[in-house]
């Protein structure tokens, strides 16, 4: 089986950087990146700058994915992508069946999987995907699992905190892996569920977890349309609710999930901000003395009385954040607002001057595992931070790509 990749919602290429870092066998045959309402497509231009000579990028690579005919997408063995967390509910359309009311990008993934049927899928999303929406916990993830099940896929998932496995950012992300029933790997679903979640699954064989008991695993059968074994997406959208844990599998409509913890057998101590900071930075990154009071307020704990639109009085509370950030720990989760004066923005004591300053774009790239100056491709300075706030930790992808490489080797 060829080791070919189709990359959706590619951003500045985090998945591709991770895969190519793991092994030179991987070939990206097509990629799509399009940012709505943006006159200049900075992320796509960054991607093209680094990969144009080696890609199968064509005219559709910078087009709204919903406007790309599936017959224009090459065949591939792995579909990857980091899609947004949205509302994935559906509605009835009478004799025409159902359609997605929201979560448009997920339905584009489903459309491509239905037409291209790649053997393997690797997706990334925020950790709160497992609990959304708040009014019907677990519904959105249930819809995703049901869609993959109906397309003939066995599914595993894991919420991974990169720092817990030795990397430089406390970034928690939900990773979803699916194998089609046409693959040899698909029979893994017939194995003992505990062994899959403990050590023999896609994620557990890559990222070790501490032992747990059979009794700790929760199970749930998803409803099927009688007499078919196809899951009823509309019924799930209207009625499904379930407390998903951070690890799990879904096979033939049966969900098994358990809370796992890293087994703390990390060979090397985690990388810290100290390992990543530059020793000579431009003055533009230093905090001005006039802003100190504002920064102290934003970072500090607070209890503020507020009044809602209905006249109800309540107390808004926020806990204090370290100010400055400790450089002896991995970075906090980086957000798209990193370039602004914001409570979540990192502030560090410079290694040379000891003065307080912001992170540089290069430091943000290193926090996500990208090569230095990866986004220095002509995009605005602030947008470099935005891209890194949207990116994933490529070191996690590298390890997952190695596991997937071994799986595909056995397919032949």
- What the block records as the tokens of 275 is 């390992």
Q: Supply the DSSP string of 78-129, one letter for each residue.
A: EEEEEPPP----EEE-GGG-EEESS-HHHHHHHHHHHHH--SEEEEEEEGGG
220: which strand partners?
255
Q: What is the pLDDT of residue 102?
A: 54
Q: What is the pLDDT of residue 52?
A: 79
Q: Domain segments of the chain: what residues?
A: 4-266+393-411, 273-380
Q: What is the pLDDT of residue 86?
A: 73
- pTM comes to 0.93
364 part of the active site? no
- What the block records as the tokens of 222 is 């998803």
E strands in 223-355: 247-251, 254-258, 302-307, 313-318, 347-349
Residues of the chain with pLDDT under 50: 95-96, 98
Which superfamily is assigned to 4-266+393-411 in CATH?
Vaccinia Virus protein VP39 (3.40.50.150)
Token match 């144009």: residue?
52
Q: What is the pLDDT of residue 234?
A: 85
The catalytic residue among 23, 46, 85, 364 is 85
Q: What is the pLDDT of residue 191?
A: 74
């Amino acid at each position: 089986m060829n080791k070919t990749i189709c990359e959706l919602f590619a951003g500045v290429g985090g998945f591709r950087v991770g895969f190519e870092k793991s092994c030179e066998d991987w070939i990206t045959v097509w990629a799509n990146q399009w940012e709505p309402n943006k006159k200049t497509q900075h992320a796509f231009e960054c991607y093209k700058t680094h990969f144009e000579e080696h890609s199968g990028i064509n005219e559709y690579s910078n087009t709204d994915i919903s406007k790309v005919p599936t017959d224009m997408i090459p065949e591939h063995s792995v579909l990857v992508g980091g899609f947004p967390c949205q509302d994935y509910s559906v509605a009835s359309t009478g004799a025409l069946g159902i359609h997605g009311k929201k979560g448009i990008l997920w339905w584009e993934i489903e459309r491509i999987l239905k037409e291209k049927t790649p053997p393997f899928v690797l997706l990334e999303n925020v950790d709160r995907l497992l609990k959304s929406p708040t009014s019907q916990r677990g519904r959105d993830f249930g819809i995703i699992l049901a869609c993959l099940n109906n397309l003939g896929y066995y599914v595993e998932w894991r919420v991974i905190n990169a720092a817990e496995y030795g990397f430089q950012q406390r970034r928690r992300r939900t990773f979803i892996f699916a194998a089609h029933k046409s693959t040899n790997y698909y029979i893994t679903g017939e194995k003992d569920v505990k062994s899959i979640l403990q050590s023999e699954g896609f994620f557990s064989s890559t990222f070790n977890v501490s032992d747990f008991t059979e009794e700790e695993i929760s199970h749930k059968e998803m409803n099927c349309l009688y007499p078919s074994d196809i899951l009823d997406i509309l019924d799930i959208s209207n009625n499904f609710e379930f407390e998903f844990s951070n690890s799990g599998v879904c096979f033939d409509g049966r969900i098994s999930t358990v809370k796992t913890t890293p087994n703390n057998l990390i060979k090397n101590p985690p990388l810290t901000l100290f390992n990543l900071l530059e020793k000579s930075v431009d003055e533009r990154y230093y905090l001005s003395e006039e802003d100190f009071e504002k920064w102290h307020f934003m970072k500090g704990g607070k209890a503020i009385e507020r009044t809602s639109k209905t006249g109800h009085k309540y107390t808004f509370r926020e806990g204090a954040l370290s100010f400055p950030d400790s450089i002896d720990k991995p970075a906090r989760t980086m957000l798209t607002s990193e370039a602004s004066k914001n409570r979540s923005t990192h502030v560090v004591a410079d290694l040379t001057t000891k003065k307080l300053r912001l992170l540089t774009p290069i430091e943000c790239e290193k926090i996500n595992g990208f090569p230095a100056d990866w986004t220095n491709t002509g995009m605005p300075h602030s947008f470099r931070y935005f891209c890194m706030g949207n990116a994933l930790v490529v070191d996690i992808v590298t390890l997952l790509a190695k596991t997937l490489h071994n799986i595909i080797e056995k397919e032949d």
